[in-house]
Structure 1
Amino acid sequence: MRRLAGDLPALGIAQKQRPAAPTYRGEITEAVLDEQLSRQLHATALAASATAFVPLLAAYALALSYYGDADEVVVGAPMAGRERPETADVPAFTLAMLPLRLDIDPAATLTEFTARVRETVYDAYAAAEYPFGWTLRRLPAASRSSSATPVFQTMLNMLPYPARATTASDVRFRFVELDTGYTKYDCALYVQPHGPGRLLLQYAYQQELLDAPAARNVLESTLIALRALTDPRRAEHTTVRSLDLLPGDDHR
């Protein structure tokens, strides 16, 4: 409650006028992290005493801050709700959304920024069992609107799907991608395994707010930030202010 107090920043990356009644029709643009960058990602997470979620969140937040010209962003993170042994095997939908409010300090080095993101994530995890619906009722600034989701308008979702088919109780499962053509948030970044040692990043966005080139730029800038964050020498000496996130095509 303390972290989400006061005026909440709204995601400001939309190119178009937000409709009063959105259709939520969405598109997806994607990229694959090669084995080298995936290894660097996991090494950076290990050095920061975190999982790969933290540097990915840090890179995504920097891209959102860049295009939204904002000094803080709020990103939603889905929580499985199965951290306790007694809930691990309950056959029910226990997913809950956890808002992560991130300050973007231009003077911080990328290493310092990643560490601060880690602390924000750790603090939020400690309150992960607090229902999001209760949070909404106690936040005066989180007014409900038909045009945008309250508290956060984007999320980062790491999907721990196995890259290959799997078997459980003699039943064989394989995961199939399903694009419904809709997205409930302004945009969302999904990360999942994609073959041995690789990760697939999928950036979903609402067509009414972003066009395809702009959405691609957000994903490309996330990758630029991730490469910088996962390069130890560069991350130690590069500040958020000095990091150039403009994609190559725009430079040309």
Structure 2
Amino acid sequence: MPNGSLDKYIYLENPKEILGWDKLYRIAIGIARGLEYLHHSCNTRIVHFDIKPQNILLDKDFCPKIADFGLAKLCHTKESKLSMTGARGTIGFIAPEVHSRTFGVVSTKSDVYSYGMMLLEMVGGRKNVNSVAQKSSENRDDGLQVCEVSSENEGIAKKMSVIGLWCIQILPTHRPTITKVLEMFERGLDEMGMPPRQNFGQILEDQSCNLSAESMSTSSGTERHVFSEMLKMKEMDDVN
């Protein structure tokens, strides 16, 4: 692709000066349309599992193309749920359920999470995963000034941010499908509700309780005893 990959632009010192917010917005919608094709328009659903700026190529008109299907999986069922072992993807973009089934089933919603993380990086112009927190005065600015947002582009930046936050909900059941994401792009900002705040610890605890209840209800007497002992050991470890 003549214009290389998306990361070449969004991580520059002044990325918005090169692409501009309108072009960045069109790229975001183009990527969502590509994912919708993979998830809903193919004869067999395709889950990419590695959506990130490095895998978005731009043609001469800056039209995005999703690339690198090395980690992709085909989904032969109508429900789009996938059975897989081990995690796959890139740190910072991997959906929680891909890392641990405690959070839910792996599905096309896993790509939606990765897309949301990428959307937030497109707005912020920086990597979401950074081992060293920068403590410059710039990072202490309020609002969207850090993201090089002028008053005329504030609506675009806010809409992309809100959609991104909906996409990265911890539980896949709380995330929109990529089709819903495209519908959100068509709405006005005032028509979109704000996503709920994420309480990672509480969600993890609730999911663990749900899994425990399901396992206890479906297990035999011996299995229930073993499972009960495992829970006791876990509680003791937590106390220690």
Q: TM-score scaled by structure 1? A: 0.28
Of Structure 1 and Structure 2, the greater helix share is in 2
Q: TM-score scaled by structure 2? A: 0.29
Of Structure 1 and Structure 2, the greater strand share is in 1
Structure with the larger RCO, 1 or 2 (CA within 8 Å, 6+ apart): 1
Larger Rg: 2
